[in-house]
Structure formats: C-alpha cells, structure tokens
Copies of this chain bind each other. A is one copy, B any other.
Amino acid sequence: MEVINRYITIKNHIDAVPQHSDFELRSSSLSLSLDPASDEVIVKNLYVSIDPYQLNRMKSYSSSQKSSEFAVAITPGEDIDAYGVGKVVASENPNFGKGDIVAGLLKWGEFTVVKPGGMLNKLDPMGFPLSYHVGILGFSGLTAYAGFFEICKPKKGEKVFVSAALGSVGNLVGQFAKVLGCYVVGCTGSKEKVALLKEKLGFDDAFNYREEPDLESTLQRYFPEGIDIYFDNVGGDMQEAAVSNMNINGRIAVCGVISEYTDREKRAAPSMIDVIYKRIKIQGFLAGDYLNLFGDFLSTTCDHLRTEKIQPLEDISDGVESIPSALVNLFRGQNIGKKIVRIAEE
C-alpha cells in the first residue's frame, strides 16, 4: 500500500529571522510495505513539536553542529526531524507493533520512517492527552525540569527570574519554581501575556519587555533584593541586565538565546567583573544529557498536573502545512505556551 507523505523542507539556509517563504511543503509517495529485514518502523505522525532551536540547524554556519543530535544541520530540500508523538502503521522492528502509540524523533511531515537506532519509544499516555507528551511531559518539560533543578539547584524562597516566560520551557520553569516556594517574575512580550503569567500561572509578577527601555533598572524594580536564579531563554541585553542584578552565588541556566538565533551579533556581553565578585555561574545545558531524570521528571510533573499545581499551556495548530507559520510565529512571539502542530487526529 502506498500513501502520499507531505512534509516540510527549507528552500535555503536561514541566517536571519525566518519567513514563511523560506519553507516549502513537498510530497512524495511512501510504501507502507517494509522490507522484513529492514528493522524499520513507519509512524503516522500525530503531534510534532515546534521549537526555536530548529532555526539553529537551518543556518549556513554553525559551530555547534557536531555537539548534539539535536544540532545536526538541516539540508535544504531534505525532511526535518523533530520530537513528536505518533502511531505505528507498519513495523518490521520486533519492539513495535501496528497501532502502538510512540514518542520520539519524528519528522515535520505526515509520516516518519524510523530506521534502526532511531529515537523511538512506546508511549503510555497515563490518561493525559497525547499532545502533553510532546510538550509538558516531553522534552520541553524535561528541559525545564533539568535546567531548573539540576543546573540552578533552587532553594525555597529564592528569587527567580524567567525570560520568555510564556514559552514552552519558561512557563514550566516558573510553575516549578512556584511549587517549590520561590519568588518568581517572568518577562514576556505583551500585556495579555503578562496577565496570563500572573493570573493563570501564578507568577508573583511579570512585565512586558517591549515597554522597558532600560532593562537593568527594570530588573532592579522587580527584584529589589536581587536575583538568585535566572533561567535564560533569550540571551542578549536581558542576560546582561540579569547579571547586573544578580545576587552573590547567582546561577544562570542558559537554555536558549533567541536573540542570537536570529542575529549572531546580538550577543550578551555580561560584566565579568560581576561574574567574578558575585561568583556567578553561567551554565549551558541540553535536556538530552538528563534522560536519566526522565522518570523522576515524569512522575513529579504528572502529580502536579493531577493536583492542578501546574497548568498545561499549549498552542496547537492543525495540519502539516501550518508548520512553517508555527515556527515563524515563534520568533514573532505569537505563541502562548508550547507550540505544537497536530498533524492528524488520533
């Protein structure tokens, strides 16, 4: 049996803010009859994750390509892998059977042919919607959990600042911090988002960075006692301002640097004198290094979801053709929470 597989590619490398015209929807026919010796699995993709880091892989330059499987460069014209959830429609791999719900590295397309060794696991939805397993219970969640608890080693009562606080990772970091008993302030890009942070997600305070001409004094205003932990999703000026306002033994988890993704000149130049005298730690990390925590993360987060101590925040678009605008809008700050594309109904 053959199906038509529609998928997204880039037409060219993208070295600036991504535009809709950088992308293309292609299609090819795909046979669902696998070679019995192939060990392959064909997954019908249901939900795929849309993340800012994908833009790094689309650049013509990258000093980081070889450092992680999530950083492998994307070649124009080729399909693009992304974390997602799907259903097995054909399998010659003894670990997977037709109808299995799976999570792993799928494609920005309607189907994924997973080769032996590909990242794929059977998924137990545990009573939650499948989309949760792409975001809050997937890699975004693990990123927030590992970055906050392992890198920042937070203590109750500490002052926590989160940038891109309504993003897939930021909103969770803030919520984890609140559950722990920290004071949490988030920054985001609109009045409506500020309200969401405070009213829906329970942040102690929040501000719209677009209305703040001097971020250093803004942070001084929101943190009169200084910042203990900065969970950095944006880099640039905001990181500089955070370092200026940091307390002794402050910790910065560098999770993302949206400012650098679209403009490599927009780098943070934090005061290293502050870094020394305040013994600040600036630490980059990738969630993939913390798979050993996945079990802990999952049970903790499921508990918090069931007791409604944390709220899921999803922003779902429909159809493979909506992937380009989903990514483009991420860099325009138009997502609210975890951006996911639903490729097909379950």
A residues near B (Cβ < 8 Å) are 56, 63-64, 67-68, 71, 232, 235, 239, 244, 248, 254-257, 260-261, 264, 267-286, 289
Contacts and interface: CB of A to CB of B under 8 A. Distances in A.
Contacts of A275: 254, 282-284
A274 B271 CA distance: 19
Contacts of A274: 63-64, 284
A16 to B, nearest CB: 15
A232 B276 CA distance: 11
B279 A282 contact: no
Given A64-B273, A275-B283, A280-B283, 13 more contacts: A63-B244, A63-B274, A232-B272, A257-B273, A260-B271, A267-B269, A267-B270, A275-B284, A276-B284, A277-B286, A278-B284, A279-B284, A281-B282
Copies held by the complex: 2
16 contacts: A56-B273, A56-B277, A239-B272, A254-B272, A256-B276, A257-B276, A260-B271, A260-B273, A274-B284, A275-B283, A275-B284, A277-B284, A279-B283, A281-B281, A281-B282, A282-B283
B273 A261 contact: yes
A45 B63 CA distance: 52
Contact of A272 (B260, B279, B281): B260
A268 B284 CA distance: 16
A275 B283 CA distance: 7
A286 B279 contact: yes
A229 to B, nearest CB: 15
Nearest to A62: B273
A278 B281 CA distance: 15
